[in-house]
Chain A
Amino acid sequence: MLVLSRPWRIIGQVLLFSLAATIVAPLLLVVFTSFKPPNEIYAGLPWPQSPTFQNYIDVFEKLSLAIYLWNSIATTVLRVAGQLVLAVLAAYAFARFQFPGRGLLFALVLGAMMIPHQLTFLPIYLMITKLGWFDTWTALIVPNLAMPLAVLLLRQHLLSFPRELYDAASMDGASELRILWSVVLPNLKPILAALTIVLFVDCWNEYFWPLVVTETEAAMTAQIGVRRFLNAEQGDDLGPLMAAMTIVSLPALAVFLFFQRQIIQTFVSVGVKG
């Protein structure tokens, strides 16, 4: 292992520390403020002097945050699940089968990765409204199901998968779907866990698209819902806003911690065979 000399180590630690601080400080500020009573919000001290849960009670009573959270969680879970299923199936086909147009189709998948959302959102928006999907879960889930990056990553993984394992399973009498399910997927756990984190966080933090296609409690996500505390005329209601933001950031954190453990465990148990 590379060992740095003492001065460099200190410099490095100071650098990393300040970097981490710039990221953590605003988050802490949000959490602290969420526990402040209204009269302390604009007071000088960053942390609350007489902490209160009132803001948290308010967000559920005044705002029905629960409904927004339900929309967020349900659409995110469905979307990520759908993305994984589609990506696995597509990657398996690209990695395992010879078929006419395979190269062209894969090039299209890669090409789709290069097109920014800002270019496609308007046509998709128009399509959604024509289909009558405006302000529904469907509008949040369906247009995002195809995930080229996931297809690419999984395909690369599958290409390095030993061909004999597929062959052995065929000889054992397994159908292609059965091979995918019983032989391939169990060996893809680490990459699937990593992908789940990326896809979940990506979806959970999405702001622009839900803002465009949702309007009411029928589909509006928590990320958009919390905006209701921003009110230009009566002034922003910062305490409940911060409380809502704190709550909204928890699920992504939970998912990260859970799947990160999966990844590390798999790498540990596979990695020791050396």
Chain B
Amino acid sequence: MSSVRFVDVRKTFDKVVAVQGLDLSIADGEFVVFVGPSGCGKTTSLRMLAGLEEVSNGQIWLDDSDITRLPAKERDMAMVFQNYALYPHMSVAENIGFALTLRGVPRGQIAERVRKAADMVQIGHLLDRRPRELSGGQKQRVAVCRAIVRDPKVFLFDEPLSNLDPQLRTTARGEIRALQRRLGTTSVYVTHDQIEAMTMADRIVVMADGAVQQIGSPVDLYENPANTFVAAFIGAPPMNIAPMSAADGALRALDRDFGRIGDRLANACKIGVRPESIVFRDDAPSRMSVSQVEIIGAECLVYGEADGASLVARVERAAAPRIGERVGFDWPADATYFFDAVDGRRLHI
């Protein structure tokens, strides 16, 4: 049993505010992913939870104890670092067993636990090697193995896959998630890759500029983004955001009339349409000039311009128009999102 709670946690470095007011409860066994662009404070949040960075303000709780001021070595959490941070002078087995050695576990028991953990991540044959004799993927497995061997209260991952090539990354994320399900250990995972976040997380925390934008399940974030930032960050390709114009009290966007949807919205509104909601139909009022078509498999990405905004659509390959064509397009009315033009907040109309 180990649940984690952040209570109004802040972190400032001199004048830089790295994390502002993080409130989050993580349930036992949950896999939570922090996602956001580089420099948004993900690593800092993780390091505060690990005890590697002091908390400027607020508290961090592990189960029923306040661990805000507890040193890292007493928190019983394990971390996988982006560059793996394997001890260069130790063999793989020594790397994995180091934490157990420090805890005074008897030698024979260490060897047994190291072997068991190594077999779980399929590196049993590498135990005598030095880190410099390993490939990137192997190092990453050793780093994961070093974390699981101790059976810690919480796993922490800081972009553990970002140094791997894309194919390896896809298999590795599945393996990490399967391993975590099997062990049932509460996990916090940091990444800048929204696909990693969507595919792995029970819950996602989207961050930007040190502030939480939205917390929710992957489906939640996809279907109900709280603001334009989340809408544009989640999904591949991201949601199209287009400005609205008001003429004589009638609202228009992407050549489509929205009538009078509340007077206060005039001019102060943007609309969002997911690329996969768009269909091409000649009798539709909206027109798009196609500038590029990318085939990504069964589907195509169609880039172009409509009503002064750049736009991307994701459609079946057979339905794709040709480059240079000007085509009509449409989308279901209930797939339209409205956002505040100033602060980007989602508007429910």
Are A178 and B72 within 8 A (Cβ)? Answer: no
17 CB contacts below 8 A, A to B, read A162-B83, A164-B85, A165-B85, A165-B87, A167-B52, A167-B72, A167-B79, A167-B85, A168-B85, A168-B86, A170-B52, A171-B78, A172-B99, A172-B150, A173-B73, A173-B99, A187-B89
Are A187 and B102 within 8 A (Cβ)? Answer: no
Cα distance, A52 to B205, chains bound together (Å)? 86
Chain A interface category by residue count: 10 to 19
Within 8 A of B (CB), among A196-238: none
Contact flag A162-B85 (CB < 8 Å), given A168-B79, A170-B51: yes
Are A171 and B83 within 8 A (Cβ)? Answer: no
Query: Does B329 sit within 8 A of A, measured CB to CB?
Result: no
Query: Does A156 sit within 8 A of B, measured CB to CB?
Result: no
Complex interface: chain B residues within 8 A of A165 (CB): 85, 87
Query: Does A183 sit within 8 A of B, measured CB to CB?
Result: yes
Query: Does A62 sit within 8 A of B, measured CB to CB?
Result: no
- Name the 8 nearest CB pairs between A and B, nearest first: A164-B85, A172-B99, A168-B85, A170-B72, A186-B89, A173-B73, A173-B102, A164-B81
Are A168 and B81 within 8 A (Cβ)? Answer: yes
Produce 1/0 per residue, B142-163, CB < 8 A to A: 0000100010000010000000
Within 8 A of A (CB), among B61-120: 71-74, 77-79, 81-83, 85-89, 98-99, 102-103
Cα distance, A105 to B72, chains bound together (Å)? 28
Query: Does B50 sit within 8 A of A, measured CB to CB?
Result: yes
Q: How far, in Å, is B267 (CB) from chain A's closest CB?
A: 50
Query: Does A49 sit within 8 A of B, measured CB to CB?
Result: no
Query: Does A174 sit within 8 A of B, measured CB to CB?
Result: yes
Are B87 and A167 within 8 A (Cβ)? Answer: no
Q: How far, in Å, is B245 (CB) from chain A's closest CB?
A: 51
Q: How far, in Å, is A54 (CB) from chain B's closest CB?
A: 51
Complex interface: chain A residues within 8 A of B146 (CB): 168, 172
Within 8 A of B (CB), among A130-184: 162, 164-165, 167-175, 178, 182-183
Choose among B50, B103, B132 the residue that contacts A171 (Cβ–Cβ < 8 A): B50
Q: Which residue numbers of B lie inside 8 Å of A, CB to CB?
A: 47, 50-52, 71-74, 77-79, 81-83, 85-89, 98-99, 102-103, 132, 146, 150, 156
Q: How far, in Å, is B343 (CB) from chain A's closest CB?
A: 37
Produce 1/0 per residue, A16-47, CB < 8 A to B: 00000000000000000000000000000000
Q: How far, in Å, is B71 (CB) from chain A's closest CB?
A: 8
Most chain B beta-carbon contacts within 10 A, residue among A167, A178, A186, A187: A167
- Closest A residue to B75 by beta carbon equals A171
Complex interface: chain B residues within 8 A of A6 (CB): none
Are B132 and A273 within 8 A (Cβ)? Answer: yes
Are B87 and A183 within 8 A (Cβ)? Answer: yes
Cα distance, A175 to B73, chains bound together (Å)? 7
Complex interface: chain B residues within 8 A of A170 (CB): 51-52, 71-73
Contact flag A187-B88 (CB < 8 Å), given A171-B79, A173-B73: yes
- Closest A residue to B87 by beta carbon equals A183
Cα distance, A170 to B89, chains bound together (Å)? 17
- Closest B residue to A187 by beta carbon equals B89
- Closest A residue to B98 by beta carbon equals A172
Complex interface: chain B residues within 8 A of A174 (CB): 73, 98, 102
Complex interface: chain B residues within 8 A of A173 (CB): 73-74, 99, 102-103
Cα distance, A186 to B89, chains bound together (Å)? 7
Q: How far, in Å, is B141 (CB) from chain A's closest CB?
A: 15
5 additional A-B pairs beyond A164-B81, A167-B79, beta carbons within 8 Å, are A167-B50, A170-B72, A171-B77, A172-B102, A175-B73
Complex interface: chain A residues within 8 A of B77 (CB): 171
Cα distance, A221 to B164, chains bound together (Å)? 60
Complex interface: chain B residues within 8 A of A186 (CB): 89
Q: How far, in Å, is A51 (CB) from chain B's closest CB?
A: 49
Are A168 and B73 within 8 A (Cβ)? Answer: no
Most chain B beta-carbon contacts within 10 A, residue among A162, A170, A187: A170
Are A178 and B79 within 8 A (Cβ)? Answer: no
Complex interface: chain B residues within 8 A of A164 (CB): 81-83, 85
Q: How far, in Å, is A274 (CB) from chain B's closest CB?
A: 10
